[in-house]
Chain A
Amino acid sequence: MDINLKRGLLEIGVLKILVNGDSYGYQIVKDVSRYVEIQESTLYPILKRHEASGFVTVYSVEYNGRLRKYFKITREGKRRIVSFLKEWEEVMEVYDFIKEGIYE
Chain B
Amino acid sequence: MSKRRFIRELRVSLSHLPKSEVDKAISYYSECIEDMLDDGMTEEEAVFSLDSMENIVTTIEEISADNGVEVDYKKKITPVDSEVVDDDKKSDGQRASNVNSDSNDNRKNNTNNSNQNHQYINGKRVDGGSLGRDISSSVKIAVSSKMRAAANKITSIATNMDNKQKSKKYNPYASDSKDNYNEGKESVSKNAKKDASQADNYSSYSENDNKTMRREYADYEYEPSVYDKSKDKVRDVVTKKRSTTTNVILGLTSIIWAPILLALIVAGSAVVFGLFIAAIAISISIVAIIVSLGVGGLILIIQGVFVACSGLVHSGIASIGVGVAVIGLTLLIAKPMFFVSGKIFYGLLGLVKAGYNSIFRRRARV
Contacts and interface: CB of A to CB of B under 8 A. Distances in A.
Interface of A: 24-27, 29, 37, 39-42, 44-45, 48-49, 52, 60, 62, 64-69
Contact of B50 (A40, A62, A66, A69): A40
A80 B32 CA distance: 27
Contacts of A68: 31, 35
Interface in B53-83: 55-56, 59-60, 62-63, 66-67
Given A25-B32, A39-B50, A64 B38 contact: yes
Contacts of B60: 44-45
A68 B227 CA distance: 10
Closest 7 CB pairs of A and B: A26-B35, A41-B51, A45-B63, A66-B227, A41-B56, A40-B32, A67-B234
A60 to B, nearest CB: 7
B25 interface: yes
Nearest to B55: A41
Classify the secondary structure of B's interface with A. helix
A7 B59 CA distance: 13
Nearest to A69: B31
A24 to B, nearest CB: 7
Interface string B28-58: 1101101110110000000000110001100
Given A25-B35, A66-B234, A39 B51 contact: yes
Nearest to B68: A52
A45 B56 CA distance: 10
Contacts of A42: 51, 59
B225 interface: yes
A67 B35 contact: no
Contacts of A69: 27-28, 31
B240 interface: no
A70 to B, nearest CB: 11
Contacts of B35: 24-27, 68
B32 A67 contact: no
Given A27-B35, A40-B50, A67 B59 contact: no
Contact of A45 (B31, B59, B227): B59
Contact of B31 (A26, A39, A65): A26
A41 B50 contact: yes
Contact of A67 (B36, B50, B63, B233): B233
A52 B69 CA distance: 13
B63 A49 contact: yes
A92 B30 CA distance: 41
Contacts of B27: 69
B30 to A, nearest CB: 9
Nearest to A39: B51
Given A26-B36, A45-B62, 14 more contacts: A24-B35, A25-B32, A26-B31, A40-B32, A40-B50, A42-B51, A44-B28, A48-B63, A48-B67, A64-B34, A67-B234, A68-B31, A69-B28, A69-B31
